[in-house]
Every structure is written in C-alpha cells, then in structure tokens.
Amino acid sequence: MKRIFTKFSVLTFLCFLFNYTAFAQNITVKGKVTDGGDKTTIPAVSVQVKGTTTGAQTDVNGNYSISAPANATLVFTYIGYTTQEVPVNNRTTINIVLASSAQQLDQVVVVGYGTQRKIDVTGSVATIKGDEISKQASVNPVSALQGKVAGIAISNSGAPGTSPQITIRGTGTVYGKVGVLYVVDGVWFEDINFLNPADIESMSILKDASSLSIYGIRAANGVVLVTTNKGKKGDAIINYTGTVGYQSVTNKLKMANATEYATLINELTASSGNPPLFKDPGSFGVGTDWYGQLLRNAMVTNHQLSVSGGGEKSTYNLSLGYLNQDGIVEKNNYTRYTARLSNDFQVLKPLKIGYSVSGTSSKTRDINTGIFRQLYAAGPVVPVFYADGTYGDPNDFSLGGGNNFNPQVTSDFYNGVTKDYKLVGNVYAELNIFKDLTFKTSIGGDFGQNEVRIYDPVYKATQGQQSDNSKLGIDRSETRNWIIENTLTYKKLFGDHNLTVLAGQTAQKSKLYVINASAMNVPFSSEGDLYLRLGDAANRTISDRGELNTAVSYFGRINYSYKDRYLLNASLRADAASQFFGGGNLWGKFPSIGAGWVVTKEAFMQDQKVFNSLKLRGSWGKVGNAGVPLNPTNQLIGQKGGYVAYFNGIAYTGKNIDTMVPAFLDWERSSGVDLGFEASFLNSRLSIEADYYNKTTQKAIFEIPVFSNIGLTAATQIGNQADFENKGYEFMATWRDKTEGGLTYSISGNFSYNKNIVKSTVSGKNPIYSGGGGLANGSKATRTLLGRPIGEFYGYQVDGIFQNTAEVAGSAQTSAKPGDFKYVDQNGDGVINGNDRVAIGNPNPKFNYGLNTSFAYKNFDLAVDIQGVAGVDVYNANQSVRFGNENFSKDFYDNRWHGEGTSNKYPSVNIGSTNNAAPNSYYVESGAYIRLRNVQLGYTLPQSVLGKWKMQKIRVFANAQNPVNLFGYKGFSPEISKQVTDKYSPTSAGIDVNVYPLYATYNFGVNVTF
C-alpha cells in the first residue's frame, strides 16, 4: 500500500509541476512608506508578496526594495496601522501611506462553522498562526502550542509518534474520551497525529462554553479548530523546508554504580538476617551504566515540499512530507509519509466547490514497554556481555526474583512493529442563493488502519530470558468515520446593524472493527514475512469485536452587533447519540449566550488618550460529552467454561452475569461562565487580554468499585457519580515595537491559574479510589472526594524515620523496623491503618505560564520561548515498586538511612517492604518546572543575492528545543503524560512508573521558496 501511496504522491506532484512551472518575470519594486497622520517615514514595515513567503522590510528612512512578479500584490503590515494590499501592475516605484489603526479588532478569527471579526467575538478564542507552529521542532502540531496559549496544559511523551495530552481549563471529563475535539477543515478527530505541522494555516482554541456549545456533543474538553493551507491566486509557488538534527536525553537519572549497588544489596540481605551477597563490593568498580548502554542521541530528519497557486477560477495546494525520527532507545524508530492535496473551483459566480484529501502512512519500530523499568532496576554488577560474547546473566550474581533480566537481551530479542494508514477527505459546495444567503454542504470522513505485530522468537540468552517456543501476535483495527454537515448562513448589514444567522444540521457515523490473533511456533523469516498460518493450528487463537456509533445534530446561532459597539451571540445545539439509546436521555440540548461592549466606540471615550481599544465581554453556555462506550446501560450475558451443567451426560455451558451496568445513564454536561476584557494601549503596541471562568461538570461519569462479595468478577461500574468545578483566571500581555535602528521585536507572556474541586457526589462523602496501575501491592494512590480535587494523591503522612527499636516499640507501628517510615497517627487511636491516610498531593497543576519573544534585525531573526508549570505534584512510584534486588538511584544511595542518625528523611534499603511501599508523602514530589522551550536563530539571504539565482527566498536556521530544564523532581522529567502502556486518566494522573523520558532536540534547517 505504501508503494502505491508513494507513486500516487509523486505522480500528482509531477502533474502540478508540469502545469505551473511558467513563472512570471520578476521586477524590482522600490518605494517609501509614510505615516498618514504626521507624514513621517516608518521603518521596519513588513512588505510581502501576497501568497508567498517572500518579504522585505523598510529601512530607517522608510525605504524598501523587493523582487516580485509584475502581476503580484504587495502586502504592507505594521503594528498599529491598517494593513494595505497593493497590486504591482508592472510598476517599479510604489509609495505607500499607512493609516493608523486604533485597534487590532478587525482581524478575522476562525470559530465554529465560520469566521468572525475579532471585534465580534464574545467568547474566549485563541488563535495560533501556522508559521508559529512550524518554527517549533515538534513533530506533532499540538506540542507546538505548549506555552503559547493561556489556559492550556500540555504534557508530552518522549515516545516517537506519540500524541501529547492537552487539557483546556482543567479536567473536563473523567471517564471515556477525555481528550479535546479536533476539527480539521470540518472533519472531526480525536487526534491529529496524522497531520504534518507544515500543512497548518492556523489553529483556533475554543475555551469557553459560549464558543464551544456549537459543538455540543463533544465539546466538554474543549475544541481545537485546524485550518490547513489552501492555494491562492497567482503563479505557482514552490516551497521546501528541510531539517536535520538529533535528540538527546535531558536530566538523565543517575543510578548507583556497581560498587554502591553491591553495598546496598548487602545491607538489604543483612536486614533479613542473611550473610552478605557480595563479599567485596569494591571489586565491581563502576560496572554497567544501563541508561548509557541503551539510550542514545537519536537522529531526526524532516522534509516538506509544497506547490500552490491558481487562477481566476481555481486554486490548488499540494504538499508532501517525510519524517524519520529515531527514539532515544536503541532500535526505536518512527517514520511518517504525508501527502495533502486541496482544490477550490469557482464553477459559477454563485457556486464554489472544493475538496481536500490527505494520506498518511507511518511505521514504528516499537520497544518492549517494560524496558524503562528494566533500565531503572537492572543491577550494574551484571555486564552487558561476557568476554566470550554471551550475555551477562543476573543469575550468575544470585540476582533472581524481580531483577532477573539483562535489558540488552530485552532490546535485542524484542520484535514489535506498528503500522498506521489513514486517508482523510472532505468535499464541499457553497452556493450563494442570493446576496445575503449562503448554503453550504460538506461531506468528510476518514479511513484508518492500525496493525501491531509482535514476534517472540526462540532464543536462550540467560536463565531467566529464554523461550522454547516462538509466538506471533497481530492486533489489527480499522476505523471508518464520516460526517455530513449542511448550513444556511444569512448575513445582512443594514445601517448600524450587523446580523448573521446560522442554521445547520449534522449527521455522523463512526465504526471500529478490531481483530486479535496469535499463533505459536511461527518460524522466523529474515525477510520479515511472518504469517499466522505457519504456526501450530492447535495453538492458534482469534477474536474480534466492533463498535458502531451514530449521532444526529441540529444547531443554530445568531450574531448581532450595533455600531460595532454592542455585541450579542446566542446559539443552541441539540444532539442525539446512539450511546444513550435505550438507557438514558437520547437527546442533549446545549444553549449558550454571549455579550460584548466595545467601550472605545462610545462617544465619551473619543477624547481619552489611554486606550486604543477596550472591549468587555461575558458569556454562559452548556456543552456535553458523548465519549462513553456503546450502550453502557445494556446488561451483557457471558459464557464461561467454569460454569457447566450436565444433562443426560451432555455438558451445557452456563450463562452468567459478570458485570454490572447502570439502569440509567444521563448525559454528562458542563456549564460555564466566562468574563473577560481585551485592551490595547500606546498606539496598540501593548495589548492585554484577561479572563475569569467558572465551569461545572454536571452528572460526571465515573467508574466506581464493585464489592466482590456480590459474586461479580468485574471490579467497577460506571454511572453519573459527581459534579466537579474548574475555576480560574487567565492573563496574556503582548508588547510589539520597533527601534529607530530597524529592530522589530515582540514580547508576549501568558499566565493561567486553575482550581479543581468536587462539588457533590452521589455517594456523599464516600471516596472514589484509583491510581493503582503498576504500584506496589496494587495499592491505590489517588482518591476523588467531596470538597477535594479530582485524583488527588492519598496515603500516609511521613513524620521521619524510625532510628532504633525503642522508637518502634513506643509507636503505633510495632511491626516496623529501624529505617522504616514513621507515619502520623491521624486519628490518635494508637494504630496505623487505612483510617490514617490523608491527602498528600495534587496532580492538577494550578499554574501554567509562558514567555514568547521574537526579534528581527535586517536579515536576522531570533525567537526564544520559555514555558513552565507550578503548583503541581508528582507521585514518584519508581522507588517503591521493588520485588527483589533492583537498583537504586544515586540520590537514594547518598541519603539513605543505614544506621541510627544517618537520615530522618530517606528510609533504609527496605523501601520496597509492605510498610514502606504503601502510598505515602515521601513519594510525592513537586512537579513544578521551568524550561527553555524553544530557541531559533535564522538568516534570510538578501534580495540582491536571490535575484541572481531567480529565487524568492532562502532562509537558514538553527533550532534548539527543550535544551534547558530546571526542576527539583528526582526523575527524568516532572512532565508526566501517561504510562507507556496506559491511556491517560485524570483519576490517576501524575504517577510516574517509568514513563518514556523527554529529550532535547537540536537541528538545522533551510527554507527555500521559488
């Protein structure tokens, strides 16, 4: 399939290249730009050839010179002035007078089902342009938003090809689909990992309920609208961007070396009354650095080629992309091919049609999901290889139990590959029925296929790592989704009144089919062709499952403004989803209303000198969440071989109920209020935007425990369990200016605060426990409780370390040993048990902030971004998950308790014992950090050079992403997205059980336009 895909991409590209290689003759255009008010010249005005990346700036005297096609259009922009577009029309001298703009409120913002002038927006909407996204080294466009937008928290994973977790204004939902909704050119997605960042024109983040409610059914966690690049009228423009660089682990965790490890293991065996395991710890020296052995500097290359242009009746845009990203673990690799084509046709004066289609093919060479646990725990006394070339065996050092592995063996014999294919398309037609009424219909969808293949060969490396039988497992899933939308838009400007009315209808269907199969004794093939049918027929297994969800929606919206001064926005959406058919309210209704007042439009503000613009706005709305499993209220009957009855000698397998479902499940909905203002000062050089919000998720769906004594095997039941609230503030300020010397610069800072709290629960004060995945003894480290935040860490409060047996004997922990944690007896009953557990940390970040700067001087440009998080905790479970002779961190070795008076903070090497491994405050650390998110330095070759080469632009740049990370957390990174094998869940967030480490990226690149 990849070969066909590649041939199609190349053929399409050659066709467009053949048809549009005739470039117009460039001429040199010169002129001067002056202020329309005081007639002074304006330096550092941006002069750009419309539809291209070719540009220049005016000098200190307001003069400019640019090479452009004779039929091009020049765009003149400058902060505080109205943008002008001027056709060249074969002229070589064009002087421009820019009019001062009192505000920046006339720019167009993408909102749900259309666009609005920023002045008309009454909700909270943030927009990021494509060029800001493409400046980042991120391979996923969502990562590029980190630190750019107030109110957004993003957690990245270091695994190649993995999508980041994005949260908008706190946790919106807990169960099912907890991610945001992405709308790419009208098509709905749960993830945009398939999208090349270079294909994006802009991203709009809808944050408040008023702007979100038009997407009612799936808007509970926020909506990100993605607009991809389209063709523009003009001659063909070919653009190429290529980068090459490498990724390096930052803040690598330092582990105890072989001598230190042997010392610790001897202490561990001595505590059990056994003789030392290692007679001479010093004889091992430094030993094996397992992180250094398997982690590496990983290469990453990225190439993007696009062709765009068009005539009076049609425009086109074609792009091709290639990404090759090595993981920081050896053999880990991610390769992605992308192709995107869009065309728009003005068939008739009132009729416009168009389409966009994109294809993505990716392949990941996976790693064993337990490799990071092994790298953390592996004994450094074990060599990677012996002198004879065989693998170092932990059993040769009496290291069995939980430390019976050599990570190099795991890496060498793991054979896992993931392949993804996705085809996305959208077709639309737009008809102007008459001057003020437009009908638009569109149909879009995607077809995706995912295949995970894992092959375990026959091998013998160590006593604990060997297999006598090979096994092939294949998991394949297919998705088929489509969406049809029809809208009528009426726009009318009459006198001082501006009215827009939108009415629409949507129908959508999503289908998932999954098949899982495996076979034993499949022979190895050096060609990579592995087939289940070659294995033993007796040991072949196969199972399948599927889901089918449908929804129908009706919506409408009214936008009204009077004299661009008083603004009103109201919308209503009604959704019916198949998930609630037969067991809940089939229909959900989601209204919203917003109002705004542009104060600077008032007569009494005309003579004031403080504000260039000032707008006050407020909104209220409701949104919903349909991201729950299909038919959650239907009781399922199972058949198990353990339940057999015999009648007349014939065995009949019994049917039984092994799960519990709710009798009724209602829509989960969120109601929110937003109050904000937007202002600009000092000739619009300083702009400020601030918001206060309060949103409440009502009838939130949770999984709750089911008591095992009722005879069911299921551990949980879903239901409408609670209401919870997210309340906070957002602030963003931007300063843009120029100097007389020609330096233009921009400094933008954003800050947000969020508080999450449970307002009510069905169970009253009974908590909901979670967060037990991967923890020692299956302990639950989080709880959700009335009056507390969702998923807060919960356990014992540590009050020092027992120093001697006398302290133990006089305490409430008589079974403890010296060197164990001393817990606080919270209720004073003289016994330490589950009743003494308390809140010990909060994984929900209170503060997110970012500082973004850009500078341009002559042909040089520089961008520096800083991003950080504060007021958040992380549960470092790496230390407590111990089953044998695992290694320890160097920090633990240096500070551990190893005798009376040696430490009153760190426990002894018995940290993995039942008493010490229980969730407690020792494992909770600050998750605050600040990082240098991105630095990019670029140089654009002057027009005098480009003219000789007949090129429009050549820009070279160097980039560093995450080169500096400052934090106190005793792990790789406090940015905990999700475990390698787990999906993100807000009730178990912030638990670090050996996640894939983050890294810094350093690369060089070039951007060429011709």
How far out from the chain centre does Cα 585 lie?
A: 32
Q: How far is the C-alpha of 991 from the C-alpha of 979, rounded, in Å? A: 8
pLDDT band at 169 (very low <50, low <70, confident <90, very high): very high
Residue 312 sits at the vertex; the CA angle it makes with 308 and 315, to the nearest 5 degrees, is 25
Residue 402, phi then psi, degrees to nearest 5: -75, 0
C-alpha distances out from residue 158 to 145, 337, 890, Å: 16, 20, 23
Closest C-alpha among 730, 728, 774, 770 to residue 749:
730
pLDDT digits (tens, 9 = 90+) for 388-399: 999 999 999 988
468 by Cβ neighbours in 10 Å (0-12 / 13-18 / 19+) ranks as: exposed
Q: Which amino acid does the sequence have at 285? A: G
Dihedral of the alpha carbons of 786, 791, 792, 796, in degrees to the nearest 10: 100
Of 98, 128, 144, the one marking the end of a domain is: 98
Average pLDDT in the 17-35 region? 66
Residue 446 sits at the vertex; the CA angle it makes with 440 and 449, to the nearest 5 degrees, is 180
Q: Considering the chain, what is the average pLDDT of its residues?
A: 87
Cβ-proximal residues to 343 (8 Å cutoff; 6+ apart), any chain: 231, 314, 315, 316, 354, 355, 356
Query: Among the listed ranges 103-112, 357-366, 772-781, which one has the minimum average pLDDT value?
Result: 772-781
How far out from the chain centre does Cα 511 lie?
A: 24
Residue 920, phi then psi, degrees to nearest 5: -150, 175
- 224 and 119 in a single domain? The answer is yes
Looking up residue 32, the CATH number of its domain turns out to be 2.60.40.1120
pLDDT digits (tens, 9 = 90+) for 462-502: 999 999 999 999 999 999 999 999 999 999 999 899 999 99
CB 35 within 8 A of CB 98: yes
- 165 and 51 in a single domain? The answer is no
pLDDT band at 22 (very low <50, low <70, confident <90, very high): very low
More confident site: 529 or 886: 886
> Which residue do the tokens 């289940």 mark?
532
Average pLDDT in the 503-530 region? 88
pLDDT for the residue numbered 995: 82
- 75 and 135 in a single domain? The answer is no
Domains in the chain, number: 3
DSSP string spanning 617-660? EEEEEEEEE--S-SSTTSPP-EEEEEEEEEETTEEEEEEE----
- 50 and 108 in a single domain? The answer is no
CB 253 within 8 A of CB 373: no
- 120 and 94 in a single domain? The answer is no
Q: Would you give the end-to-end CA distance of the chain in angstroms?
A: 32
Is 672 part of a structural domain of the chain? no
- 127 and 60 in a single domain? The answer is no
| SS3 state of residue 835 | helix
Four-residue CA torsion sign, 134, 135, 139, 144: negative
Structure token pair of residue 196: 């090349």
pLDDT for the residue numbered 641: 52
Of 47, 82, 98, the one marking the end of a domain is: 98
pLDDT band at 770 (very low <50, low <70, confident <90, very high): confident
Is 37 part of a structural domain of the chain? yes
pLDDT for the residue numbered 775: 67
Q: How far is the C-alpha of 107 from the C-alpha of 569, rounded, in Å? A: 18
C-alpha distances out from residue 451 to 362, 364, 511, 724, 981, Å: 11, 10, 16, 38, 16
Q: How far is the C-alpha of 43 from the C-alpha of 858, rounded, in Å? A: 11
DSSP β-bridge partners for residue 184: 187, 226
pLDDT for the residue numbered 23: 39
| SS3 state of residue 263 | helix
Exposure string (b/e) for 302-328, b if CB count within 10 Å is 16 or more?
bbbbbbbbbeeebbbbbbbbbbbbbbb
Please report, rounded to a whole number, the percentage of residues in the chain having pLDDT higher than 90: 61
Exposure string (b/e) for 826-857, b if CB count within 10 Å is 16 or more?
eeeeeebeeebbebbbbbbbbbbbbbbbbebe
pLDDT for the residue numbered 13: 40
Q: How far is the C-alpha of 401 from the C-alpha of 398, rounded, in Å? A: 9
Q: How far is the C-alpha of 84 from the C-alpha of 132, rounded, in Å? A: 22
C-alpha distances out from residue 253 to 568, 658, 973, Å: 55, 44, 9
pLDDT digits (tens, 9 = 90+) for 813-822: 999 999 999 9
Quickly count: other Cβ atoms within 10 Å of residue 531's Cβ: 12
| SS3 state of residue 168 | strand
Name the DSSP class of 523.
P
- 135 and 233 in a single domain? The answer is yes
Structure token pair of residue 498: 């501006």
pLDDT for the residue numbered 294: 96
pLDDT for the residue numbered 686: 94
Closest C-alpha among 667, 674, 727, 664 to residue 698:
667
Residue 396, phi then psi, degrees to nearest 5: -70, -15
- 118 and 66 in a single domain? The answer is no
> Which residue do the tokens 């720019």 mark?
107
Looking up residue 237, the CATH number of its domain turns out to be 2.170.130.10
DSSP β-bridge partners for residue 352: 430
Of 190, 206, 241, the one marking the end of a domain is: 241
Q: How far is the C-alpha of 156 from the C-alpha of 186, rounded, in Å? A: 26
pLDDT band at 21 (very low <50, low <70, confident <90, very high): very low
45 by Cβ neighbours in 10 Å (0-12 / 13-18 / 19+) ranks as: buried
Is 252 part of a structural domain of the chain? no
Is 681 part of a structural domain of the chain? no
- 74 and 47 in a single domain? The answer is yes
Average pLDDT in the 638-656 region? 62
Most confidently modeled range among 171-175, 193-197, 286-290, 662-666: 286-290
More confident site: 44 or 48: 48
- 143 and 86 in a single domain? The answer is no
Quickly count: other Cβ atoms within 10 Å of residue 480's Cβ: 15
> Which residue do the tokens 């479970």 mark?
877
CB 179 within 8 A of CB 190: yes
Cβ-proximal residues to 874 (8 Å cutoff; 6+ apart), any chain: 841, 843, 924, 925, 926, 927, 969, 971, 974, 976, 990, 991, 992
Most confidently modeled range among 259-263, 577-581, 701-705, 780-784: 259-263
Q: pTM for this one?
A: 0.87
- 129 and 213 in a single domain? The answer is yes
pLDDT digits (tens, 9 = 90+) for 201-223: 999 999 998 999 999 888 999 99
Residue 372, phi then psi, degrees to nearest 5: -75, -30
pLDDT for the residue numbered 884: 82
Q: How far is the C-alpha of 623 from the C-alpha of 618, rounded, in Å? A: 17
Reply yes or no on whether the pLDDT at 774 is more than 60: no
Is 997 part of a structural domain of the chain? no
Dihedral of the alpha carbons of 292, 966, 775, 792, in degrees to the nearest 10: -170
Four-residue CA torsion sign, 169, 172, 176, 180: negative
pLDDT for the residue numbered 15: 40
Cβ-proximal residues to 241 (8 Å cutoff; 6+ apart), any chain: 134, 198, 302, 303, 304, 1005, 1006, 1007, 1008
The domain of 207 spans 104-241
Q: How far is the C-alpha of 424 from the C-alpha of 481, rounded, in Å? A: 10
Q: How far is the C-alpha of 883 from the C-alpha of 564, rounded, in Å? A: 68
Residue 589 sits at the vertex; the CA angle it makes with 583 and 591, to the nearest 5 degrees, is 160
Query: Among the listed ranges 98-112, 556-570, 872-886, which one has the minimum average pLDDT value?
Result: 98-112
Is 920 part of a structural domain of the chain? no
- 175 and 69 in a single domain? The answer is no
CB 118 within 8 A of CB 105: yes
| SS3 state of residue 776 | helix
Reply yes or no on whether the pLDDT at 633 is more than 70: no
DSSP β-bridge partners for residue 103: none
pLDDT for the residue numbered 651: 63
Reply yes or no on whether the pLDDT at 662 is more than 90: no
Is 184 part of a structural domain of the chain? yes
Query: Among the listed ranges 159-173, 709-723, 778-792, which one has the minimum average pLDDT value?
Result: 709-723
Is 385 part of a structural domain of the chain? no
Q: How far is the C-alpha of 695 from the C-alpha of 996, rounded, in Å? A: 33
Most confidently modeled range among 172-176, 259-263, 519-523, 664-668: 259-263
